[in-house]
Structure 1
């Protein structure tokens, strides 16, 4: 027998052994069966699994959910965080403190002080109109005092079923808010006396209406002039009532509203105009500014309207 034949035979035998062993192992795996547990063992295993699951549920803690932070407090924290300490001036009104942002005059002449009051629920820096005035007025001779306003009164407007009860509850709510507003504005006006010149109030939304009412009824010392931006109240009855009081007032009023405005502000502006004409209020001017975005004031047009009107009444 030659060497090649012997080598081939040996390789064939080795390959056959490997193949047989592989088939044997595969057969053992397929026919392997787990010996069934006794009923006592099955019950013990089930009890152990249930105990493990229960312990997992107990040890898993429910995430703690905190109540939302007060919106006014959050706005004040944002102002103190993002603005420098030199810009922010804390003040006290009654027993409560509030924040003001003072930008002093940078021009050679001092015209006076412009007090800027946003609508309730807004921040002292959130209104594009008032924020723009804070930037440009100091270079024109004005010191600006922007106020962080009180929040929206709780429970306003009333959701009572009867109309008479709604009006009664709204009057009580607004009365309390006007008292707070009186304390706040009194403190700001005392601060304004530290600067020479006249003082002008620029206010927006519902705060513009309430503030004008406080000046008209003598609850607050009237300013040299007042600028109202998109003033409105939530009901037609309140808008008419405040418009009648404003029409009989003596301090000058510039009433500005937008061509693209929410319906309440547009209708309230028409009511004020009609009452001012009826009572022949001398120092009253209503101006409509054309804008592209609802509620957004064209900044340069706003500034021209205010400066032009102040010059027309002698300031």
Structure 2
């Protein structure tokens, strides 16, 4: 007798399989590794350091559900880190189904005056119109709409645990420092897991636009970062979502109040943090690590 797989679980499996096959089709066999994430397979992309002496491994975790090897992930950042002596491990974060209400988009559109542009990229002319924020990031940060159910939250947390434990086994093949660079909601989940002691601690973590797109969770982000037991570089940009920007000051204040060592917050001035900004971001990361003596 076969057991039926719940629809949400099957959807996550299908998404993971699709991402895995996309990466396998677009990469040469020596460029990726297949890891076991519990009973499921996942693919990570390995790029070796370009220096004679490697600093260690930098694990790049993009926004949830984005292909880690695509231009929408952090793949374009990897070569700059390779030049600074890092072996990079590109990871595709687990997918989470946000329960975004249909009225959200209509509320956002009706809140604009007739004279205001409706193009979501108008504020950032350099952005790619095909690279718009996901719907959950477009909900106002003051909204009390619950889009992450308790069951989904626990499942996502478990998925991250399985993923990062598998990636850690691969990272151990590369001696040196362990650096985590995580984006958006992935950064929030990892900050929580490291703060809770659920994962093996890296030597440092870089967060990019950290947030949870739900008010009661997002207000916890400053405390989560402050109690993360490793150095933190907190990167944000004026074109990040309201969820990220609404806690920017609180994140810095909480780190000061908690007497957190080696916390640095930096706003990257200029266009949205993407391929255009990655050379600057890589130098910012390198400068911070050099300051700490790496």
TM, length-normalised to structure 2? 0.75
CA pair 211-127 structure 1, distance change in 2 beyond 3 A:
farther
Partner SS, residue 28 of structure 2: coil
- 2:72 equivalent to 1:132: no
Q: Which has the higher contact order (CA 8 A, sep 6+)?
A: 2
| Counterpart for residue 175 of structure 2 | 196
Q: CA deviation at 1:158?
A: 8.5
| Counterpart for residue 84 of structure 1 | 28
Partner SS, residue 220 of structure 2: helix
CA distance in structure 2 between the aligned counterparts of 1:95 and 1:81, rounded to whole angstroms: 22
Across the two proteins, how many residue pairs are aligned to each other?
243
Which structure 1 segments of 5+ residues have no match? 1-66
| Counterpart for residue 41 of structure 2 | 97
Greater mean deviation of Cα atoms: 262-271 or 208-217: 262-271
Task: State the Cα RMSD in Å.
Answer: 2.6
CA pair 297-173 structure 1, distance change in 2 beyond 3 A:
farther
| Counterpart for residue 236 of structure 1 | 215
CA distance in structure 2 between the aligned counterparts of 1:110 and 1:276, rounded to whole angstroms: 31
Q: CA deviation at 1:292?
A: 2.4
CA distance in structure 1 between the aligned counterparts of 2:273 and 2:42, rounded to whole angstroms: 30
Q: Which runs of 4+ in 1 moved over 6 A?
A: none
More helix by share: 1
CA distance in structure 1 between the aligned counterparts of 2:35 and 2:273, rounded to whole angstroms: 33
CA distance in structure 2 between the aligned counterparts of 1:155 and 1:260, rounded to whole angstroms: 22
**Which of 20, 36, 50 is the matching residue for 1:106?**
50
- 2:157 equivalent to 1:214: no
CA pair 131-107 structure 1, distance change in 2 beyond 3 A:
same
Which structure 2 segments of 5+ residues have no match? 1-10, 103-142
Equivalent positions of 1:43-192 (< 5 A) are 70-127=14-71, 130-151=74-95, 153-156=96-99, 166=146, 170-192=149-171
| Bigger radius of gyration among the two | 1
Q: CA deviation at 1:127?
A: 4.6
